[in-house]
Amino acid sequence: MINKGFNQAFLDELIEKNDIVSVISKYVTLTRRGSNYWACCPFHMEKTPSMSIKEDGQFFKCFGCGEAGNVISFVRKIEDVDFVKAVEILAKNAGMKMPEDDNEDIRKKKYERDRMLSVLKATSDYYIDNLKTVEANNHIDYIRKRGLSDEMVTKFKIGASVDFYGLIKHLRKLGFTEKEMIDSGVAGKNEQSGLLYDFYGTRLIFPIINGLGEVVGFSGRDISNDPQRAKYKNTPQTLVFNKSQ
């Protein structure tokens, strides 16, 4: 049997090797009650847990919003990805190899997503390295003023954009295209000059990281106190980042 381009035997093994309780516990806090686990549903606002996770049946059900399904369904929803990417995420988690795929559309989408994640990872690394330079002294001063420890800066991968064009030059050297930079949300384009610029230029950078440790976006905090600049600038909607979630 084929399901979304995958052999059913592969999907059965994937689900078996990704215990739903273990996977969901990476995203929300679970409490055991009887034979089931319960949690506040991450798909709608609530104060009292209404999502039940059944370990022996390997499925979840929210009695508040109605969301339900298996571990693939949960990852699709929580990470806002399609079926193929959810399978890829779970295969990586279980140490399984993805089967060869002859579907050109699936291969293309996977390539685009992987490239975008690579742009975002390279950008995050660049910002982190910037924070170690003298050009980031103002960013460091701001960090100290707000009481952030070195441990917090490291843990949350906080970085610095120190100008408007260094990132563009860096990403070009790594082989990323103009379209990839813009589509990833890390670059903007000046309509008059046609030049690309760092979308978060000169800001303190906070990466947005999903449950798998992948950088999917950024929030840049202005440190200039310029009333003409927005206090925060955030990643727009992209292939890997859903602003509403």
Measured CA to CA, the distance from residue 143 to residue 153 in angstroms comes to 9
Q: What is the pLDDT of residue 60?
A: 95
The pLDDT value recorded for residue 108 is: 78
Specify burial of residue 175 (Cβ count, 10 A radius: 0-12, 13-18, 19+): exposed
Q: Is the full-model pTM beyond 0.75?
A: no
Q: Consecutive 10-residue runs of the chain (245 residues): their mean pLDDT?
A: 67 93 94 93 91 93 93 91 86 86 68 91 97 96 95 96 97 96 96 93 94 88 91 92 76
Q: What is the strand order of the sheet 232-234 is part of? A: 159-160, 204-209, 215-221, 232-234
| Positive/negative CA dihedral, 98, 99, 100, 104 | negative
pLDDT of residue 100: 65
| pLDDT value for 9 | 85
Over the stretch 129-180, which tens digit does the pLDDT of each residue have? 999 999 999 999 999 999 999 999 999 999 999 999 999 999 999 999 999 9
